[in-house]
Structure 1
């Protein structure tokens, strides 16, 4: 534990319980203890900043760093944007063509994300519920990709009761190296810029902090965490995850604040030495 300088965690299925909550008192204890040992904390997630700001509203002045949109955007603990990668318009057009031709259509919707806005193709407007939209500051319906005037970090397709890996395969075949396709572990597929993943984002943050990837502990549960887990010194995988590899165990699952509990156990172990 002595050489851990940064702890990063995924949100959905990892830090957050299934109902998207967490024990705030316990997390406050974690942050206080980490600060005392000068260990940084980062959220490394597939989602965008405005959703995180809503989930972690009580902790936004605690110098948290953020790797968002599966690594397409990195923000330091002081709020400095360190890295941004967006999807070229020509590639967005190819994604739109692929989605339009794919069967079955994503019955849970399609969203083109900026950090605060959900651009939704008009055809998918009926599928977008308040549950989906509560995490964006605004939603804009569009008819054609050329209507989008803001850089897009990520495109998400979501199905209910469908093996989304079929779309994953089609997207890899059609789009090739123009993008990075990843499954989220929640029935959705995310498409982010080529060469982008959480490990890339964490590397940017590590460089900024002047630390090595070997000095990072990371927590994850899904396919979009795998690069991050393979590149850090202390990769922790949730008990409910199906990821296979040489990973460290988390004390409890996401519904019992396993991430916070494991961090405290690590800190206690360190204090005992």
Structure 2
């Protein structure tokens, strides 16, 4: 019996930037809600962007932001994980890339030298941004994520290197398009699902999840019913139990519609 459905956003649920079939989703969502199934948007994005995309569902959905570092329910943070000062200082000392961003609890930070066009792109994904002269000293905040971009072909190797060098201090993952996100150690989309399972008494085999990126692999392996999107890499598909049609074909909604039909 499925009791929780979770889906990634970019490349999975969304057909393009912030776009999805809203009437079709409402019909599916209403049926899931009627069956008491919890619906979770789970992403490396900040809550700000997720709330804009699902503005009509803020009281009915659960939002896992920043790759599991912050979990929101009914407009409130129900779980958070932040870097300790030592880990953050070591992280910045070893991996300080141009254009990187630091995500605090409610605001993201970039250095003043970041070009205007890049700031616009970052604001689209991060929401409220504060520019600071430098990350040394750190702004007064608690931090949940550090992000930067590299060449797409370098993401897998660099992610592996970071996880080896900073084991016990941080966890790096890549979501696509050359973006690497670093969150506190032990935090991932899988850990967020485990927290929700404990909180609501839901077992992994009662979860259905969808993803397309490297940061989805662990949750695809964890859930009893997992779907990689047809547009995902072979590495991601190998972690899932099945493959869904692509995000351009509303693959998440197709699978959920089939599930709802079969469960009647």
Given the two structures, how large is their TM-score scaled by the length of structure 1?
0.88
User: What corresponds to 2:253 in structure 1?
Assistant: 260
User: What corresponds to 1:112 in structure 2?
Assistant: 102
What's the secondary structure of 1:13's corresponding residue? coil
User: What corresponds to 2:82 in structure 1?
Assistant: 86
- In the alignment, which of 21, 24, 49 is matched to residue 22 of structure 2? 24
1:68 aligns with 2:65: yes
Q: 1:29 to 1:90 in 2, by over 3 A?
A: same
The CA deviation at 1:166 is 4.0
The CA deviation at 1:161 is 5.7
User: What corresponds to 2:185 in structure 1?
Assistant: 194
Q: 1:169 to 1:35 in 2, by over 3 A?
A: closer
The CA deviation at 1:126 is 5.2
The CA deviation at 1:157 is 0.8
User: What corresponds to 1:53 in structure 2?
Assistant: 51
**Preserved CA contact (<8 Å) 1:117 1:140:** no
User: What corresponds to 1:184 in structure 2?
Assistant: 175
The CA deviation at 1:137 is 2.2
- In the alignment, which of 159, 166, 190 is matched to residue 175 of structure 1? 166
The CA deviation at 1:162 is 5.3
For 1:174-208, what per-residue CA distance to the aligned partner results, in whole angstroms no more than 9, with x for missing partners? 32221111111231001000011111111111222
**Preserved CA contact (<8 Å) 1:74 1:204:** no
214-223 or 202-211, which deviates more: 202-211
Q: Which runs of 5+ in 1 are unaligned?
A: none
- Superposed, 1:240-255 pairs within 5 Å as 240-242=231-233, 243=236, 244-250=238-244, 252-255=245-248
Q: Distance in 1 between matches of 2:123 and 2:27?
A: 31
217-226 or 252-261, which deviates more: 252-261
Q: Distance in 1 between matches of 2:189 and 2:240?
A: 18
**Preserved CA contact (<8 Å) 1:154 1:190:** yes
For 1:208-230, what per-residue CA distance to the aligned partner results, in whole angstroms no more than 9, with x for missing partners? 21221210100011111111111
Q: Distance in 1 between matches of 2:133 and 2:52?
A: 25
The CA deviation at 1:80 is 4.2
Given the two structures, how large is their TM-score scaled by the length of structure 2?
0.90
User: What corresponds to 2:147 in structure 1?
Assistant: 156
Q: Which runs of 5+ in 2 are unaligned?
A: none
What's the secondary structure of 1:219's corresponding residue? strand
C-alpha root-mean-square deviation of aligned residues, in Å?
2.0
Q: Distance in 2 between matches of 1:92 and 1:241?
A: 31
Q: 1:220 to 1:161 in 2, by over 3 A?
A: closer
What's the secondary structure of 2:163's corresponding residue? helix
The CA deviation at 1:150 is 1.0
User: What corresponds to 1:269 in structure 2?
Assistant: 262
Give the 4+ runs in structure 1 shifted more than 6 A.
none
